[in-house]
């Protein structure tokens, strides 16, 4: 009997049954432009997005080295949005601290270090790993302990960290199960894993389909609440919290996102924001299409 190829096997539950999730998609390659955090390449994928009938997970069937594309990625827009990123970081840390005390922390894909700065201010001992040379250089310029590279190449002794965070990262990984198993080894017994990621099972994602703004070239995994829970349990974690996740940005930033759909709408929204003096106001709308998860390692796994 012919064995299914690995690319068609669900990364969340291991099932081999799949169908095409986003049929009306435009395909694009991965490069430093399409991997920018502020890219407007909505509705574009780096390949056919398969869907698991067993757990609802969706993923790009063809394998891509997203980390390699990130090495040359730069994004000045994220520097402008530092205030909002810091506010989001503080909110995330407040969730984490409901379950664990401050201690050593690793932020995987830490970008320019906003989360690490917020963690340092709250009494954590933060470290970061970031594949973008541009972003990791800026993080180190802020006095942060950040390694330029990937989690696979990052060395840490077992039980080193009280918390490991994957904030908007797990959806970029070709093999999320391997990363989570590695993370479990790095956490100490009283530690916690923190994840934020788009929610492909949300009502908004289902309504927008391939035009959902989280369908992007660098996203190769599309988790639902069920599929992320399934994956975490397979990798030795217990989900302690799963809730929606709002991100804080300026009104200007959110207005610019409309450019991924209509330049006319973008210009109109920016003009209105400037006329009413709202362009630089920080807002955090909750569209209920993102989720944050706190998970604890199982002692007997």
**Is residue 12 in some structural domain?**
no
Which residues have a Cβ under 8 Å from the Cβ of 142 and sit 6 or more positions away?
A: 112, 113, 117
Neighbours of 140 (CB within 10 A): 17
End-to-end CA distance of the chain: 33
Q: What is the pLDDT of residue 2?
A: 38
Does pLDDT of 23 surpass 90? Answer: no
* Mean pLDDT across 80-105: 98
* Mean pLDDT across 56-75: 83
Does pLDDT of 134 surpass 60? Answer: yes
**Is residue 198 in some structural domain?**
yes
Q: What is the pLDDT of residue 186?
A: 96
How far, in Å, are 103, 176, 232 from residue 237 at the CA level? 20, 13, 5
* Mean pLDDT across 286-300: 95
Rounded to whole angstroms, how far apart are CA atoms 191 and 166?
14
Three-state SS at 48? coil
**Is residue 231 in some structural domain?**
yes
Rounded to whole angstroms, how far apart are CA atoms 239 and 228?
9
Rounded to whole angstroms, how far apart are CA atoms 142 and 118?
12
**Is residue 63 in some structural domain?**
no
**Is residue 105 in some structural domain?**
yes
**Is residue 73 in some structural domain?**
yes
Does pLDDT of 76 surpass 50? Answer: yes
Helix axes 114-121, 82-96, angle to 10 degrees: 50
Q: Are 228 and 291 in contact (CB under 8 A)?
A: yes
Residue-range definition of the domain harbouring residue 144: 69-248+284-297
* Mean pLDDT across 62-73: 78
Q: What angle do CA 155, 295, 285 make, to 5 degrees?
A: 105
Edge to edge, the sheet with strand 221-222 lists: 18-20, 49-52, 58-60, 221-222
For residue range 144-167, list pLDDT tens digits in order. 999 999 999 899 999 999 999 999
Does pLDDT of 27 surpass 70? Answer: no
**What CATH number corresponds to the domain at position 132?**
3.40.50.150
* Mean pLDDT across 218-239: 96
Q: Are 150 and 109 in contact (CB under 8 A)?
A: no
**Is residue 117 in some structural domain?**
yes
Rounded to whole angstroms, how far apart are CA atoms 30 and 25?
15
Give the chain's domain count. Answer: 1
**Is residue 87 in some structural domain?**
yes
Does pLDDT of 90 surpass 90? Answer: yes
Q: What is the pLDDT of residue 20?
A: 73
H or E stretch at 297: strand 290-297
Give the model's confidence band at 7: pLDDT under 50 very low, under 70 low, under 90 confident, else very high. confident
């Amino acid at each position: 009997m012919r064995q299914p190829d690995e690319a068609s096997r669900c990364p969340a539950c291991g099932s081999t049954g799949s169908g095409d999730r986003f049929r009306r998609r435009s395909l694009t390659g991965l490069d430093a432009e399409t991997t920018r955090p502020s890219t407007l390449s909505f509705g574009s994928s780096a390949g056919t997005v398969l869907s698991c009938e067993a757990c609802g997970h969706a993923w790009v069937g063809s394998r891509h080295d997203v980390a390699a594309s990130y090495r040359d990625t730069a994004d000045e827009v994220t520097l402008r949005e530092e205030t909002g990123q810091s506010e989001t970081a503080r909110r995330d840390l407040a969730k984490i601290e409901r379950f664990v005390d401050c201690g050593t922390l690793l932020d995987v894909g830490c970008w320019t270090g906003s989360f690490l700065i917020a963690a340092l201010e709250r009494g954590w001992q933060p470290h970061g790993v970031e594949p973008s040379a541009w972003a990791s250089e800026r993080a180190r310029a802020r006095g942060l302990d950040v390694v330029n590279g990937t989690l696979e190449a990052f060395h840490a002794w077992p039980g080193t960290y009280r918390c490991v965070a994957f904030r908007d990262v797990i959806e970029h990984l070709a093999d999320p199960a391997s990363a989570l198993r590695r993370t479990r080894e790095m956490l100490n017994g009283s530690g916690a894993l923190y994840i934020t990621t788009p929610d492909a099972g949300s009502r908004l994602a289902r309504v927008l389909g391939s035009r959902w703004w989280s369908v992007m070239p660098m996203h190769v995994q599309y988790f639902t609440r069920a599929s992320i829970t399934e994956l975490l349990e397979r990798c030795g974690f217990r989900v302690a919290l799963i809730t929606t996740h709002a991100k804080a940005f300026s009104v200007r930033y959110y207005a610019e996102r409309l450019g991924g759909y209509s330049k006319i709408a973008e210009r109109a929204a920016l003009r209105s924001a400037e006329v009413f003096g709202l362009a630089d106001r920080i807002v955090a709308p909750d569209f209920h299409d993102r989720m944050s998860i706190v998970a604890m390692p199982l002692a007997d796994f």
